[in-house]
Amino acid sequence: MTAANKCQQSWPGAGLTIAAGVSGPLLLGGTILTLTLRQHAFLHSLGWDPLRAPTVDWPSGLALSPDGPWMIAAFLTSGALLSVFAAGLHRHLAASGRPPWGTRMLGVAGLALALLAFKTDPTYLLTPRTLAGAIHDGAYVLLGLSLLPGMLLLAVELRHRESWRALALPTLLTVLLAAPAFVLKGAAFYGFLALILAWFLLIAGRLWQLTRTSAW
């Protein structure tokens, strides 16, 4: 029995992991899109503009809007789902080789995403800085220090697993394309979000391919 087949047959949590990998990105992306359309005027009051200032209090500022509880719930739930996905992917990959570090960093990214539920402080409004705003800013930094580096490590680690080798290059390309947008902001930040969400769906899809014949 090959390592890949052994991994497929010894992993009863695959269904939960795949569901988390698919639902997390769709929930976060869908919530951001829906609330942006609903709270367009509110975002403008914070200084946001979809072209001239696309990252001014966006998407975090949605938590300050009348629909804020939905954005807060999306941050919390998507962060939890990302952590579940990272844990399941770690277990899957560890069964066929050395335990990967990339998945551990994705787990940290899940925690950071959940911590974004602490409301941000508006950039241009004359309001006192808050503890929640400081936690939010720290979580954003932690997300940047864990998500993309974790994906980069995972790209290297996937090369050493035959059943995952085909996704090593797409993972690396995703990091190389997403990193400048994350750092430079601007309208390219929309592309960053789309790339990252699509990558999670790609990885979840590969997991589904590898485990669809197993009895979960």
Per-run averaged pLDDT (10 residues), the chain, 216 residues = 46 83 95 96 93 88 97 98 96 86 96 97 87 96 94 94 93 91 74 92 92 58
Residue 144 lies in a domain: yes
Q: What was the pLDDT predicted at 109?
A: 97
In angstroms, the CA 27 to CA 206 distance is 20
The pLDDT score that the predictor gives to residue 184 is: 67
Q: Which of 91, 96, 75, 88 is nearest to 32 (CA)?
A: 75
In-domain check, residue 189? yes
**Does residue 187 lie within any of the structural domains?**
yes
Rounded CA gap, 91 and 23, in Å? Answer: 19
pLDDT at 176: 92
Does 5 reside within a domain?
A: no
Residue 76 included in any domain: yes
Residue 179 lies in a domain: yes
pLDDT of residue 15: 87
What total number of domains does the chain contain?
Answer: 1
Give a yes or no: residue 1 inside a domain: no
Residue 34's domain comprises 12-211
108 falls within a domain: yes
Q: Which residues are CB-neighbours of 85 under 8 A, at least 6 positions away?
A: 17, 20, 21, 24, 106, 110, 200, 204
Which tokens is 26 given?
A: 């769709």
With contact defined as beta carbons under 8 Å apart, do 8 and 214 qualify? yes
Contacts (Cβ under 8 Å, ≥6 apart) of 127 = 121
